[in-house]
Structure 1
Amino acid sequence: MLDSIRSRRDPGYRGELHDYLIFNSRAACLMTIALIMGGLALDSIFYPVYAREFLELRVGACVLIGLVLLSYRLSWGRDNAKILTYFWICVPQAMVAWMIFRVDGELSIYFVGLTFVLSGMAFFLPISLLEASFFGALTLLAYCAACALRPGGIQDFHAFWGNTVFMSFYAVIGVALAVYNERWRWLSFQLKKEIQEKNEALQHTNKALAEIKGHMMQQEKMAALGTLAAGLLHEVNNPVNYSLMALNMSMMDALVVNSPDLKESLGDAKEGMQRVQSIVSDLKTFAYQKPGDDSSRIFLFEKALQSALRLTGFELKGIAVTVDLPMDTHVRGDEPALIGVLINLLGNAALALHKAARQSPRIEVRAVRTEERLEVTVRDNGTGIKPEHLPRVFEPFFTTRDVGKGLGLGLSVSYAIVQRHGGALRVSSELGVWTEFAFDLGLANKNV
């Protein structure tokens, strides 16, 4: 009984039951029409005198049931499916009751048709306990009325009570089937709902695992590239130092001092070698991720941010920079390295804003203290990042800039610096609207 009450209150179950009613009612309509027209054989065998009258009666009943069947195709019919189903169930009951009234009453074979109606309702239609009881009582009442109101009334009470008891058995069986079917449908709905919820939870878990797998692959890729870079650093750095030393000595030669063109050429060569040296230095930061002696000092993040803003002052001309920091920004880490991270993030944001040509370009730097970390975000309203580029922005040598405008090492180096501080550098973006980089640092009173 409690299950029945809960099922009637569940909107999902009611919707599914409504669809089930329409589907089964259509099938039951077709079967009922076939049985009604098949009864013409009984008319011609037992009551040939009434064959024509009963043919018209059967056709009329089939037309009414057919109209109900067609109405299920319309939105009105689907909305009123339950009332229409009650109506067409009464049609064969009324037809059989009239035929009993017209012929032998309690001695008529047509009482079997009423048992077919009771059986069909219980087997094919999703009716409740109360509905099954109501239709069972209505069927018995229709039979009693047909026998009692016919000319001459009930003449064979023995046959009348026998048929009544027989149909009562069918009514009780119909009620029992209705209770069983209603409980089975409710349990089936609960099981289906539980499976659906578990599938959704499994999909959510699979998605989370895929994201974790992607993050782990990114870390493995960066670790592998870092190992590769570390192996090349020594071989590259030594010849660069030798070349710079040779260039410095050459520039002090009298011939070079007295030849402006030669001096300019050697100066360009020296500038190129210094550029190579700075690239090697960046690669060292990426490759060697072990903290140094100064990587765990306490410093003010606010002070580091001010240094980064000063160093990027030229790039930030014409851009409104807002800073929102908590009162205490003492953190633990490598201050120069983290200034480099901020310079890289601010420089990238400035480049995106100049490229977007906003009327009101702005960069928002915000920091929030949690229990153990300082959460930092750098957000701009620039060009944004394409979704297909987001997973690759931290890869070494990946860049969307024009050739010669950058090597794509800035974010990968920044990623490594934040990672060795026990945090993670993250990015989110909406193409054409905004980009936000976020990372976290350990507080001064907490161990990294």
Structure 2
Amino acid sequence: MTTSLGGLQSNYREELRDYRLLCSKAGGLTVIVLVLMGVALDYVVYPDEQKRFAIIRLLTSAAIGLALLSFYTTTGKRHVQIITFLWLLLPQAMISWMIYVTQGEQSLFYAGLMLTIFAVGILFPSGYWQTLAFGLATVALYYIACVAHAGGIHDPSKFLFQLILIFFCALASSVYTYFNEKGRFQLFRLKEELAHKNDQLARTNESLAQIKGQLLQQEKMAAIGTLSAGLLHEVNNPVNFCLMAIEIGMEEPQAKSSPSLMECLTDVKQGMQRIQHIVSDLKTFAYRRPGAAADDVPFLFEKALDSSIRLSAHELRGVSVTRELSDDTLVLGDEAAIIGVLINLFSNAALAMQKAGTASPRIHVAAEWRDDRLHVNVRDNGPGIAAENLARVFEPFFTTREVGQGLGLGLSISYAVVERHGGTLFAESKLGEWTAFNFDLPRAE
């Protein structure tokens, strides 16, 4: 466990204080009820004293009630044990007084003293020293009641027998309390260990979720790489042949004399060139070195930005993408992974703006050098992110999308990618106005 024994005991005392407060309140109400119900015993054993005893029972109950009311004050909460100990002595004092005014050691009410001692040891979470002190105080009250009784002690053997019996009850109750207290502490320690293990398990599950997400991402990248490698051969050659044919066609006199035909050939040429660019962008994934470190390959961030815009063009349809970059954007890192981060940021921004119906949606990308690191800012004019979600956007599987529209792993994986490059990915937002994601990359020497 990470919690020290001293810290554990401190936490235990804190929890025990609240538990004692609860037990004292519940026990106090129970004692009040039992004290008042004792009028039935008075009726059976001492009918002549019933009225006087009833008044004493009412006064004792009122005193216990006042003690319980003190628990709703700061001072009362701070001194739960002392107040509980004092109000527990009230019924003992009441019973001892009844013994004093009636038959002394001949009174059957000594059984009430023993019952209260056992009840305190079993039901109240008191320390064994408090329980022993309570038992000895009860022994003292019984002794005074019998000795001060009119005529003194009439049957010394019976008095000593009952006095020793009450003392044994006090001793047994304190022993029981000692082991009960140790058991309670062991239970608390097990609960703390279980909570600690649960926290560790939660962290492990979170790590496994991140690893799973990264593996899924790597599998997707590998699939893209395999597909790209095939496309380089299967698509690039026919595209080049088509471009050559288009160039030849555009030189023909018929094409030059027909504006509409020339316009069509120009559109076809631009379309083929676009296919060339996409295939070229996919080369990044096709020839990616599986075991390469994240910070050992120089690349132009501007080129990675161009590739990410082209590869996410279908999601950026209708979105104006602007840029403001430094003249030199040569950085160190994993180009394919950074392209993946940018694609994810563009995709999230475009989907959020589309869902919110943002008028004139736009994304602005800015990059500037600060302390040999290229700081990148990707900002959109979308609906923004609520404050309660802003701190959670990088949590694995957290998403505000509809079911089936995403696993909520994109930003978590992007965060890990930027972190591997020695940087930090963080989000800023103003609800209803804009959202910005920032990260930084190391300079290539």
Q: Return the TM-score normalized by structure 1.
A: 0.69
| Corresponding residue for residue 3 of structure 1 | none
- Give, in angstroms, the shift of residue 24 of structure 1: 2.2
Query: Cα distance 1:381–1:322, how it changes in 2: closer, same or farther (>3 A)?
Result: farther
| Corresponding residue for residue 124 of structure 2 | 125
Query: Cα distance 1:389–1:14, how it changes in 2: closer, same or farther (>3 A)?
Result: closer
Distance in 1 of aligned mates of 2:296 and 2:196:
49
- Give, in angstroms, the shift of residue 115 of structure 1: 1.0
Q: Deviations over 1:112-141 (max 9, x none)?
A: 111112111111111113212221221111
Query: Cα distance 1:252–1:364, how it changes in 2: closer, same or farther (>3 A)?
Result: closer
- SS of residue in 2 equivalent to 1:150: coil
- Give, in angstroms, the shift of residue 185 of structure 1: 1.4
% same residue: 35
Q: Which moved more, 1:26-35 or 1:183-192?
A: 26-35
Q: 2:81, 2:126 within 8 Å by CA — same for their partners in 1?
A: no
Q: Deviations over 1:216-254 (max 9, x none)?
A: 111112222333344444443333222211112122323
RMSD: 4.7
1:430 has 2:428 as partner = yes
- Give, in angstroms, the shift of residue 195 of structure 1: 0.7
Q: Deviations over 1:256-284 (max 9, x none)?
A: 34555544543343233222222222223
1:168 has 2:167 as partner = yes
Q: 1:21, 1:125 within 8 Å by CA — same for their partners in 2?
A: yes
- Give, in angstroms, the shift of residue 180 of structure 1: 1.1
| Corresponding residue for residue 281 of structure 1 | 280
Q: How does 1:385-400 map to 2 (within 5 A)?
A: none
Distance in 2 of aligned mates of 1:36 and 1:391:
58
Distance in 2 of aligned mates of 1:217 and 1:299:
23
Q: 2:427, 2:436 within 8 Å by CA — same for their partners in 1?
A: yes
Query: Cα distance 1:13–1:7, how it changes in 2: closer, same or farther (>3 A)?
Result: farther
Q: Which amino acid aligns with 2:438?
A: E
| Corresponding residue for residue 12 of structure 1 | 11
Distance in 2 of aligned mates of 1:120 and 1:215:
60
Query: Cα distance 1:77–1:242, how it changes in 2: closer, same or farther (>3 A)?
Result: same
Query: Cα distance 1:390–1:190, how it changes in 2: closer, same or farther (>3 A)?
Result: closer
| Corresponding residue for residue 49 of structure 1 | 48
- SS of residue in 1 equivalent to 2:235: helix
Give ranges in structure 1 of 5+ residues lacking alignment. Answer: 1-5, 369-375, 393-410
- Give, in angstroms, the shift of residue 94 of structure 1: 0.9
| Corresponding residue for residue 363 of structure 1 | 367
Residues paired across the two proteins, number:
380
Distance in 1 of aligned mates of 2:234 and 2:133:
95
| Corresponding residue for residue 379 of structure 1 | 376
- Give, in angstroms, the shift of residue 428 of structure 1: 4.5
- Give, in angstroms, the shift of residue 427 of structure 1: 5.1
Q: Deviations over 1:296-316 (max 9, x none)?
A: 9x9995xx669979x9xxx76
Distance in 1 of aligned mates of 2:94 and 2:199:
51
Q: Deviations over 1:320-371 (max 9, x none)?
A: x59999xxx9x7x99xx79x97xx89xx8xx99x9578xxx96344677xxx
- Give, in angstroms, the shift of residue 177 of structure 1: 1.4
Query: Which one has the largest radius of gyration?
Result: 1
Query: Cα distance 1:308–1:289, how it changes in 2: closer, same or farther (>3 A)?
Result: closer
Query: Cα distance 1:277–1:324, how it changes in 2: closer, same or farther (>3 A)?
Result: closer
Distance in 1 of aligned mates of 2:289 and 2:186:
60
| Corresponding residue for residue 87 of structure 2 | 88
- SS of residue in 2 equivalent to 1:191: helix
- Give, in angstroms, the shift of residue 290 of structure 1: 5.4
Query: Cα distance 1:382–1:20, how it changes in 2: closer, same or farther (>3 A)?
Result: same
Q: How does 1:394-413 map to 2 (within 5 A)?
A: none
Q: Deviations over 1:38-59 (max 9, x none)?
A: 4333322332221221122122
Q: Which amino acid aligns with 2:125?
A: P
Q: Which moved more, 1:31-40 or 1:270-279?
A: 31-40
- Give, in angstroms, the shift of residue 152 of structure 1: 2.5
- Give, in angstroms, the shift of residue 193 of structure 1: 0.7
- Give, in angstroms, the shift of residue 65 of structure 1: 2.7
Q: 2:101, 2:149 within 8 Å by CA — same for their partners in 1?
A: yes
Give ranges in structure 2 of 5+ residues lacking alignment. Answer: 307-321, 351-360, 397-409
Distance in 2 of aligned mates of 1:8 and 1:229:
58
Q: Return the TM-score normalized by structure 2.
A: 0.69
Query: Cα distance 1:425–1:264, how it changes in 2: closer, same or farther (>3 A)?
Result: farther
Distance in 2 of aligned mates of 1:29 and 1:389:
51
Q: 1:126, 1:182 within 8 Å by CA — same for their partners in 2?
A: yes
Q: 2:329, 2:374 within 8 Å by CA — same for their partners in 1?
A: no
Q: Deviations over 1:64-112 (max 9, x none)?
A: 3344445556766545433331232011011011101101112211111
Distance in 2 of aligned mates of 1:180 and 1:391:
46
- SS of residue in 1 equivalent to 2:108: coil
Query: Cα distance 1:7–1:21, how it changes in 2: closer, same or farther (>3 A)?
Result: farther
Query: Cα distance 1:263–1:40, how it changes in 2: closer, same or farther (>3 A)?
Result: closer
Q: Deviations over 1:346-400 (max 9, x none)?
A: xx8xx99x9578xxx96344677xxxxxxx65332734997799899xxxxxxxx
Q: How does 1:327-342 map to 2 (within 5 A)?
A: none
- Give, in angstroms, the shift of residue 438 of structure 1: 5.3
Distance in 2 of aligned mates of 1:322 and 1:105:
104
Query: Cα distance 1:184–1:364, how it changes in 2: closer, same or farther (>3 A)?
Result: farther
| Corresponding residue for residue 195 of structure 1 | 194
Query: Cα distance 1:389–1:36, how it changes in 2: closer, same or farther (>3 A)?
Result: closer
Distance in 1 of aligned mates of 2:424 and 2:217:
12
Q: Deviations over 1:4-53 (max 9, x none)?
A: xx779833212211222123223323432343234333322332221221
Query: Cα distance 1:197–1:233, how it changes in 2: closer, same or farther (>3 A)?
Result: same
Query: Cα distance 1:146–1:424, how it changes in 2: closer, same or farther (>3 A)?
Result: closer
Distance in 1 of aligned mates of 2:84 and 2:327:
68
- Give, in angstroms, the shift of residue 60 of structure 1: 2.3
